Structure 1
Amino acid sequence: MITTVTLNAAIDKTYALDALRTGRVQRVRRVTAVPGGKGINAARVICQLGGDVVAAGVVGGYNGQFIAASLTAQGIPHELMTIEGESRICLNVLDDDGRSTELLEPGPVFPMERFGELVSLIGRLAGRSRIVVFSGSLPAGLPADTYARLTEAARQAGAAVFLDTSGAALAEGLRAKPDWIKPNAEEWEQLYGEGPLKDEEALVASLLRGAERFGVRIVVTLGADGALAAVCGELYRIRPPRIDAVNPVGSGDAFTAGLALASARGMRLVDGLRLATAAAAANALSPSAGHVRREDVERLLPLAAIERLA
């Protein structure tokens, strides 16, 4: 089983417009609203690909009730901790030119006096899981070392850990030595801390040094340009299939889902990277974040190119 953890769960709402014009009243052509947050997106994709998954996390208020009810309706097993306050809404405005504008609410404040409950929840689920995926931002009220403390709890219970976050939460989380991290290029540059990486050659060199320095497996996602992966002294260039993207939001979460599912199934590294890439591309074909069709993933699998560079 895989457990995904979303500490700042959300309702992902998407508005379709012909164009976003500020300062004017506009009518939305189409609306979708689904439970979201990076870990929930990953859980949905794992479920859609036939994996055994539980979506864990923190919710609050009426929005939290919607998130729980929607996960149930979608057939996604979940264990959610409820706190006071209102879970956030993340609004994505899509226009006819393919541009995406995101407006992200902050979400509720986590009460630190209940942190022990959260650790117990993660430890219990990790004891039933091969992999625990920690994804997304930390809610207000939780310290920067939260993912490090939860990673330690998960690993003590015997699970491998995938960490997909950014900033101080990622830097502190690395101290607990997760098995994988998945920053994007900007997040990696901020984490690595040796100044701007001017081109892919500089990024490749930094990845090899960083993997040795941090002692973890690293995938740096590059949006439509694919990804780079540094694993046990080897480096891979990942090139995605060419598609006509509808909505790229959530593709990074789908990549994480594919990689975690492949690892849970014991697939070879190259095959896992290919599945992750196909899942990310399939997500971009959907108007909703964290949603893939299995037939799209299967069609895109052979079109994902994985090249070993070093």
Structure 2
Amino acid sequence: MKHSAEMEKDELERQYSPSRWSPRMSADDVIKAHVKALKEGTEQARSLAQTLLSVPYGEGEGEKLDVYIPRTNSLDLPLVIYIHGGYWQFLGKEESGFMAVPLIDKGVVVVAVGYDIAPKGNMDLMVSQVRKSVVSVIEQYSHISGLYLCGHSAGAHLAAMVLSTDWSQYSITPQIKGAFLVSGIYDLLPILSTYVNEPLKMTQEVAVRNSPSQLVPQLKLSSSDCHIVVAVAENDSPEFRKQSEEYYKTLEASGLNVTMEDVANTDHFSIIEQLVDGEYHLTKLLLKMMGKS
């Protein structure tokens, strides 16, 4: 018989393995299909948009972003920064342009951010990199009509950390109008004892300081005007769903402008893959938020 600590660890590992919860296909297949969908969507976006690829936002080798620009003469465009998922150890900006497909058509600039995934990058570094990328984007595109964030899974965590930044340490304070946090993790403590932490090597102290759930007072100071959408997949694991629900409730209790979207007929992967489709619920919601519907 397993004693409870082992059993709890097994169950925790299962809860934090999103691929094991998809009703569409096996765990391995859903990840392969996910990478394929993101790559194909990104290739499509690159064929439709004007692109600036691997634009540096810092000195580091991984500190680069890809920009997808609509074919329009207007300068007054909304801009969405997309922060990719992959459990802070997988994927990159090369698979992260897919959501530009329906957005460039509506005159929206999309920026896909790269950052140093583990084991090369640790949690503190990744958080500081995405913050730096946002500052760099604003400096380069000062004429945009509105700045929006979108992050999936680990990227939703990083986007929430951006919203919770003390900008007094930076050259500018970004005015982020809206943020889509899709199937994210907002409390890092539960994953400390799981396989997810093996390449990250987070201590409890690192996990606490990088948990958006602990930083809501700072978010309220920095991003009080931001409309935050916390989205979760119907077939996310109970633990992932709980992470989103609890973070949403904490934001709501703080008086922030936040809505919760429980997206039917989606799993942890399809909830973000479908942003290639202009008719998809979250795409329409994002366009509406930007006044582009």
Calculate the TM-score normalised by the size of structure 2. 0.39
Q: Which has the higher helix share?
A: 2
Higher RCO, Cα 8 Å, sep 6+: 2
